[in-house]
């Protein structure tokens, strides 16, 4: 099978991070009103750098104000 002449779709890292956080909330690892772990801790758990985690949390409006 040949490679496609166009790039394949890959979701943004921030979308992956947001899905992970919401998945943890849905599975009740973190309660809805509970404080989430730090950006650094989330980044370490899912194996990525902090900027995509920050973007995911700020875009999803999950951050403390």
Query: Tokens at residue 5, please?
Result: 């002449």
Output the pLDDT for position 30: 86
pTM: 0.73
Q: Which residue is it, tokens 């900027």?
A: 51
CA angle at residue 34 from 28 to 36, to 5 degrees? 90
How distant is the alpha carbon of residue 56 from its chain centre? 5
Q: What is the pLDDT of residues 11-63, one digit of tens each?
A: 899 999 999 998 998 899 988 788 889 999 999 999 999 999 999 988 865 54
> pLDDT category, 65, cuts 50, 70, 90?
very low
């Amino acid at each position: 099978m040949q490679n496609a002449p166009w790039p394949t779709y890959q979701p943004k890292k921030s979308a992956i991070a947001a899905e992970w956080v919401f998945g943890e909330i849905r599975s009740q690892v973190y309660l809805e009103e509970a404080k989430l772990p730090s950006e650094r801790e989330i980044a370490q758990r899912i194996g990525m750098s902090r900027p995509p985690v920050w973007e995911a949390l700020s875009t999803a409006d999950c951050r403390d104000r």
